[in-house]
């Protein structure tokens, strides 16, 4: 056994042990939310060609990490914030089937729709979206003109995971400049702030104790023209606990904490792109208190 592998295995043993101890103690329950965004058809790791990202990513290694965390933790949730399509020949050749199949094998539970999901038009989505073993959510798109897809995409969903009643809703950036008109025929864009407010209200009314937004709006000022960005939502919408972002390909190394309209804080994170990093946010449910959160993202394929 080489040294690196030995250290890796020893570390894993310790983590398994501490996971088991957390289960028998009377500590506050913890939910581990795993997230990717903008994986862009990166099924394989980046080639070992001396470039900056060489060796990073790849769905096989991502699955190993996911399986390991699921074995260690009592409560987990795996989500994607959109743009799983476009970027390598896998998409050009197979139109998204490979990406969806890989996500099914990894056990994704919920995903939102990114702008690149529309790259093969509504016809392309009709072929790929029904293959998903996970739920599609998007609260600010009206699918009523795309009859085959309307029943597949919901504005929000609820996942009951132990004591966590997690309400999730999805958001997409505007189509203008991002999706060609003929590629979203029958799907119309709704105001993201109003849609978010409506979803949060419906999720709260159903007793959710964790509200998560899968946002494909973008985080930073690279998209200055956007009418709305992740970092502007906390001031506009009450009740969002966590925004799992996408679209701007931002690696947020710390959870961004912003004061929330109506009190409390909203946390924001994002995992860059290409499946190089698997987001890991631990949510702690403390009786009668605000949720506590910390993040410890994992690089995929680094060592």
Smallest distance, Zn ion to C-beta of residue 95, A: 18
> Of 83, 99, 109, 226, which lies in the binding site for Zn ion, with binding defined by CB under 5 A?
83
Q: Is 109 in the site for Zn ion (CB under 5 A)?
A: no
Q: Is 114 in the site for Zn ion (CB under 5 A)?
A: yes
Interface stretch with Zn ion, choices 85-93, 224-232, 247-255, 292-300 (CB under 5 A): 247-255
Q: Is 57 in the site for Zn ion (CB under 5 A)?
A: no
Smallest distance, Zn ion to C-beta of residue 247, A: 4
Q: Is 247 in the site for Zn ion (CB under 5 A)?
A: yes
Length of the chain: 303
Q: Is 272 in the site for Zn ion (CB under 5 A)?
A: no
Report the DSSP beta bridge partners of residue 168.
157, 212
CB 65 within 8 A of CB 45: no
Report d(CA 247, CA 203) in Å as an integer. Answer: 25
Comparison of 247 and 267: residue with beta carbon closer to Zn ion: 247
Per-residue 3-state assignment (H helix, E strand, C coil) for the chain? CCHHHHHHHHHHHHHHHHHHHHHHCCCCCEEEEEEECCCCCCCCCCCCCCCCCCCCCCHHHHHHHHHHHHHHCCEEEEEECCCCCCCCHHHHHHCCHHHHHHHHHHCCCEEECCHHHHCCHHHHHHHHHHHCCCEEECCCEECCCCCCCCCCEECEEEEEECCEEEEEEEEECCCCCCCCHHHHCCCEECCHHHHHHHHHHHHHHCCCCEEEEEEECCCCHHHCCCCCCHHHHHHHCCCCCEEECCCCCCECCCCEEEECCCCCEEEEECECCCCCEEEEEEEECCCCCCCEEEECCEECCCC
Interface stretch with Zn ion, choices 92-100, 109-117, 229-237, 272-280 (CB under 5 A): 109-117
Q: Is 117 in the site for Zn ion (CB under 5 A)?
A: no
> Of 112, 115, 248, 295, which lies in the binding site for Zn ion, with binding defined by CB under 5 A?
115
Comparison of 109 and 226: residue with beta carbon closer to Zn ion: 226
Q: Is 119 in the site for Zn ion (CB under 5 A)?
A: no
Comparison of 114 and 192: residue with beta carbon closer to Zn ion: 114
Q: Is 229 in the site for Zn ion (CB under 5 A)?
A: no
Interface stretch with Zn ion, choices 17-25, 197-205, 243-251, 257-265 (CB under 5 A): 243-251
Residues of this chain, 130-149, that bind Zn ion according to CB under 5 A: none
Interface stretch with Zn ion, choices 18-26, 78-86, 142-150, 225-233 (CB under 5 A): 78-86
**How many Cβ atoms from other residues are within 10 Å of residue 161's Cβ?**
17
Q: Is 62 in the site for Zn ion (CB under 5 A)?
A: no
Smallest distance, Zn ion to C-beta of residue 128, A: 16
Interface stretch with Zn ion, choices 115-123, 182-190, 275-283, 289-297 (CB under 5 A): 115-123
Binding site for Zn ion (CB under 5 A): 83, 114-115, 247
């Amino acid at each position: 056994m080489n040294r690196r592998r030995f250290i890796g295995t020893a570390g894993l043993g310790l983590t398994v042990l501490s996971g088991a101890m957390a289960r028998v103690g009377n500590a506050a329950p913890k939910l581990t939310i795993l997230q990717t965004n903008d994986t862009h058809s990166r099924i394989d790791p980046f080639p070992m060609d001396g470039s900056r990202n060489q060796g990073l990513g790849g769905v096989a290694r991502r699955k190993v990490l996911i399986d390991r965390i699921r074995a260690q933790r009592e409560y987990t949730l795996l989500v994607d914030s959109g743009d799983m399509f476009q970027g390598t020949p896998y998409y050009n050749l197979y139109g998204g089937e490979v990406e969806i199949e890989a996500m099914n094998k990894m056990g994704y539970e919920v995903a939102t729709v990114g702008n690149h999901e529309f790259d093969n038009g509504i016809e392309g989505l009709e072929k790929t979206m029904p293959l998903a073993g996970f739920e599609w959510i998007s609260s600010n798109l009206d699918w009523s003109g795309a009859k085959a897809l309307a029943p597949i995409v919901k504005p929000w969903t609820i996942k009951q995971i132990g004591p966590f009643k997690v309400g999730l809703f999805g958001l997409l950036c505007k189509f203008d400049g991002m999706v060609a008109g003929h590629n979203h025929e029958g799907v119309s864009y709704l105001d993201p702030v109003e849609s978010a407010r409506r979803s949060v209200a419906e999720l709260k009314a159903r007793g959710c104790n964790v509200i998560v937004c899968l946002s494909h709006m973008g985080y930073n000022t690279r998209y200055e023209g956007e009418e709305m960005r992740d970092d502007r939502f906390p001031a506009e919408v009450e009740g969002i606990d966590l925004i799992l972002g996408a679209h701007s390909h931002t690696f947020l190394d710390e959870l961004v904490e912003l004061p929330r309209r109506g009190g409390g804080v909203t946390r924001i994170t994002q995992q860059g792109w290409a499946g190089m990093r698997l987001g890991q946010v631990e949510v702690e449910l403390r009786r009668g208190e605000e949720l506590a959160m910390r993040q410890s993202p994992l690089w995929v394929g680094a060592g």
